[in-house]
Chain A
Amino acid sequence: MYKYDKLDQQIVDERVAQYRDQTRRFLAGELTEEEFRPLRLQNGLYIQRHAPMFRIAVPYGMLSSRQLHKLGDIAKKYDRDYGHFSTRQNLQLNWPKLEDVPEMLAELATVEMHAIQTSGNCIRNITTDQFAGIAPDEVIDPRAMAEIMRQWSTFHPEFALLPRKFKIAVSGTKQDRAIVQAHDIGMEFYTDDADKLAIKVWVGGGLGRTPILGSVIREHLEWQHALTYCEAIIRVYNLHGRRDNSYKARIKILVKALGIEEFKNQVEAEWAHLKDAPNTITEAELARVSKYFEAMPYENLSAHDASFDAAIASNPAFAAWAKRCVHVHKQAGYRAVTLSLKPHGKAPGDATSDQMHVVADLAAQYSFGELRVSHEQNLILADVKLSDLYSVWEKARAAGLATPNIGLLTDIICCPGGDFCSLANAKSIPIAEAIQMQFDNLDYLHDIGDIELNISGCMNACGHHHVGHIGILGVDKDGSEWYQVSIGGKQGNDASLGTVIGPAFSADEMPGVVQKLIDIYIKERTPEELFIDTVRRLGIAPFKAHVYAKNEEIVSV
C-alpha cells in the first residue's frame, strides 16, 4: 500500500499543529462555536448526542497492521475500547473528548494517518472496491488513481468550502462494488479500444433525502485528465450549487435542475480552460504511485490444497465459513477473507480494541501485513494462502470474527443511528440486533441466500438504505420512532433504488416484518432466484399484501 514520503508526512504533521492551535483558540474563546464548526468537521469531529464523534480517515479502505494496532490503542486510550467501521470505509470513535483530539491526531500521524476532510462541506474520503488489486474480474486496480486523487483533494484551496459534502468513488471492475452511481462523482476505470486507461465519469448520484442515481457526464476521459476534469465539475458546482438550503445543496440537485446536458455543457466549457493545466497527471507520477500497489510477492502455489480440502470435508462449521467468508483471488492458491463485524446481536461494524489487535496480527502473519475495510463494514484480509485458511478461521472464530454470514441477511449495513447520532430520527442498531436474533439460525440464513439489508436512522442515509434489497429507514412520527421499509434497492451495475412498501412500523414489529418479506420470497422464488430477483420479477405487491394483511388480522382479533 501507499507509504508516505517526507512531503506527505510534513502535511499531516502541519495539520496536527494547525488543528491543535484551532482547538486551543476555540477553548480560549477566540473562535465562536459557529466559526470552529467547519474547522472541526473538516477534521472529522462531530458534536453528537452524548459526546463528540471522531472519524478517522482510512483512504480507500486500506490499512496496515501497524495502523490497525494504533487504532486499537487509540480506542483504548481515548475512547471506550471499541470503534465503529463506517460505510465510507472510515473508523469512527463515539466517545472522545474534544480536548484530546489534537493528541489523537498526533498519534495517528505517527502511523501515516489523519482525519482530514472526513466530514464537512469538502471532498471526502475517496472510496473503492474492497477487492481492488486481487479481484479476478478487475480490469484496472484503481488504488493508485485513488491515492493520486486523495493527494489532490487534500486541502484543495478552491474547494475548501463547498455548498455541501462531496463524495467520490472509483472502481476498476466489470462488476461495480464501489457504488459509483451513488456518488457525487463516480469514476469507472476501463481500458479503451486503443488499450489505454480511460475513465467513464458519472456525476450527480447520491443517497440521502433525495436519492438519485448518477448520470454519465463523459463516456471516455483519458486518465491524465482525471484531476482537471473533476476540477471543472466541482468548480461549476462550487459557483452554482445552492447554498441557501442545505437539503438542496448537493450537486445532484444542481445537475437535476440544469439537466445533465446543460450541466455537461457548463463543465465542458470550464474544462476547455483547464485541460492540460499543470494538475494533469504525468506518466511518471502514475508510475511512482502504482509501485506501491504492485502485486504482493506471492508464492507459486497450486490451485488446490489438500489440507484445505480435507478440512472442508471434515468440518462443517469451517465449510460454512469458507462458503460465505472466503472469496476468489486472481492468484492461484490464494483467497481473500472477510472477517465479519456482524456477529448476531451486536452493533454492525463495531470492533473492540482487542479485536483490532487480533485482526492486525492475523494480517501481519497471513496477509502481508495489510487489510481493508469494506463499505459493508467488515474487515478483509486480501491475500491469504489456501493452506492458512483453517488457522485464520480458528483464530478469527476465537475472537468472534468468523460469523459465517457475509452476504447473508444478518450481514446488515447499519449506521450509528439514534444511539449516537444527533441527526437521527430513530435508533438503528437495536433494530439490526433484533433482526439478527430473529434469524439466528445459520442453516436458515444459508437457505435464504444472498440478500442485503441496510438500515439508516434518518434520511441522510449513511446506512445506504435506498440500495438495500431490504431498506429500513428511521422516521419520526409525532416524536416517536418508526421504521419505513422499502424493497427492491440494489447496488452494482444494475443499481436501483428501493420502493417503500407502505406505512411505517414500530421497532417491535420490525423483526416480524422482515420475517414476512422473507416468507413470501421463500414461497414464491424459483430455484435460481435470490430475494432481489423475486422482488424484481413480482414487484412489491405480494410482499406488501402479506406484510400488511397479517397486521390487520392481529388488529381484528
Chain B
Amino acid sequence: MSNLIQLNDDIASIAENLWVTVQLPPSNVEARKQAGKVVQFKLTGEATVSETQIADTVIPATGKIIVPLSVFIARKDELLTRISNGEVGVWIDTHEVLADLVNDQADLNVLPIIAVHVERFADGRIFSLGTLLRKRYGFKNELRAIGDVLRDQLFFLKRSGFNSYLIRADRSANDALASLKDFTAPYQGAVDEPRPVFSRYNRTA
C-alpha cells in the first residue's frame, strides 16, 4: 500500500505515488565542518554535494522524477524537454538555500512538485522552508515532505504549506491521516489559513 498522503481541497487521502525520487550516490568526501562566517551555521556539519556525486547520479530515462537541487542546477541541459513536459520536480535538503533554486529557476511553477527532505523529524527548518516556498516564492503546485516524516509533525507541515506527505516507510499512512485534524481553529495565521483567529472570528462575545 502507498505511504503517500495528499491533501486536496482540505481533504486528505492516501494516494498513489507517481513520482520517483532520484537519490544522490553516497559521498566519500568529508562533511564540511566550517565555512565562511556568515554562512557558517547553514553548513556546519552537513555535507555539501560533490561534483562527482552530481555526475554519478543516475537519472531514470523516462517517467516522472524528483531530482536533487544540485543535480537540477548542474544538469539542467539534459532535463530541458522533460521539464517542459512537466515530468521533473526538485527536492531540497533542509540545510540547502532556497535562493539557489530561485536564482536558477525564476518561475517555480514550471515545476509540478517540490519536495523537502527532512533527515530527522525534529528538524524544524522544513516548516520555514515550506512557508517561504509558498509565501515568498509563490509556489502553487504540490509541496511534499519526504524523509523522516511522522504523523505528529503532519499538522505543522500542513500549516506550513505542505499538501503531500510521504510517511516513513515503517509507519502507517492510514493511522497518520487523523493527525491532520488535531486542531480545529489554531490561533495564528500561517500558510494554510493566513488570518489569525482574531481576524477570523468575532471573539468579543
Contact = CB atoms under 8 A, between A and B. Distances in A.
B127 A155 contact: no
Q: Which residue, of A158, A243, A279, A285, has the highest number of chain B Cβ atoms within 10 A?
A: A158
Contacts of B205: 5
Interface stretch (B22-30, B40-48, B76-84, B106-114): B40-48
A496 to B, nearest CB: 28
Interface of A is mostly: helix
A151 B152 contact: no
Contact of B184 (A5, A14, A277): A14
Contacts of B157: 157
Contacts of A243: 123, 125
A160 B125 CA distance: 10
A160 B136 CA distance: 20
Contacts of A14: 182-184
Contact of B156 (A31, A160, A227): A160
A160 to B, nearest CB: 5
Contacts of A35: 121, 150, 152
A241 B194 contact: no
Interface in B178-201: 179, 182-190, 194-199, 201
Interface size class of A (residues with CB under 8 A): 35 or more
Nearest to B190: A157
Contact of B185 (A11, A153, A239, A284): A11
Nearest to A36: B152
Interface string B45-66: 1100000000000000000000
A152 B185 contact: no
Contacts of A159: 124, 127
Interface in A213-270: 227, 235, 238-244, 254, 257-258, 262
A242 B124 contact: no
Contacts of A254: 41
Contacts of B182: 14, 18
Interface string B106-135: 000000000000000111110111010001
Nearest to B199: A278
B204 interface: yes
A11 B197 CA distance: 12
Given A257-B41, A273-B136, A288-B203, A11 B122 contact: no
Interface string B158-173: 1110000000000000
Given A243-B123, A278-B199, A257 B185 contact: no
B190 A158 contact: yes
A460 interface: no
Contacts of B204: 284, 288
Given A5-B205, A11-B185, 13 more contacts: A15-B183, A35-B152, A121-B124, A151-B187, A153-B188, A155-B187, A159-B124, A160-B127, A160-B153, A162-B124, A239-B125, A242-B41, A242-B44
Interface of B: 37-38, 40-42, 44-46, 121-125, 127-129, 131, 135-136, 150, 152-153, 155-160, 179, 182-190, 194-199, 201, 203-205
5 contacts: A156-B190, A160-B124, A160-B153, A239-B128, A244-B46
